[in-house]
């Protein structure tokens, strides 16, 4: 059972536009930092800071493959967040039209 304090901390992470956008992107698919940076049109430093907070808060997983780190959602134990993310606008079109270089 999730405590109110745990829910509060998770909800605080959603109160930032950049972090909410990152979660919305990751809702569509696993991504590396360079893809997130390009899609958000911001700096790697900025994205990395937000990813660190999301990882510390237990909302995302990271997996290292060669020189790249890939991020994915980690919401299995947070059904209340799944409901919120389900209401976010789809990023499928944005990701589909993204034509920058691949991280690989």
Domain of residue 23, CATH code? 1.10.10.10
Domain of residue 82 covers: 4-95
* 44 lies in some domain: yes
Tally of domains within the chain: 1
Q: Give residue 98's pLDDT.
A: 83
Write down the pLDDT at residue 15.
Answer: 94
> Is residue 100 in a domain?
no
69-93 pLDDT, tens digit per residue, is 999 999 999 998 999 999 999 999 8
Q: Which of 33, 25, 13, 29 is nearest to 81 (CA)?
A: 13
Q: Which residues contact 94 (CB under 8 A, 6 or more apart)?
A: 25, 39
62 in a structural domain = yes
SS3 at position 17: helix
Q: Is residue 104 in some structural domain? A: no
pLDDT digits (tens, 9 = 90+) for 6-32: 889 999 999 999 999 999 999 999 999
Mean pLDDT rounded to a whole number for the chain? 91
Query: Considering the domain boundaries, does residue 23 fall inside one?
Result: yes
Q: Is residue 102 part of a domain?
A: no
Contact in structure between 38 and 74 (CB atoms under 8 Å): no
Task: Name the pTM for this structure.
Answer: 0.88
């Amino acid at each position: 059972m999730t405590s109110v304090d745990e829910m509060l901390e998770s909800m605080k992470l959603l109160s930032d536009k950049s972090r909410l956008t990152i979660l919305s992107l990751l809702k569509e698919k696993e991504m590396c930092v360079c893809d997130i940076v390009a899609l958000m049109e911001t700096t790697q430093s900025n994205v990395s800071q937000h990813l660190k907070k999301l990882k510390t808060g237990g909302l995302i997983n990271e997996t290292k493959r060669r020189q790249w780190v890939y991020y994915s959602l980690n919401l299995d134990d947070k059904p209340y967040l799944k409901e919120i993310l389900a209401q976010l606008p789809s990023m499928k079109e944005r990701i589909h039209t993204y034509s920058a270089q691949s991280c690989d």
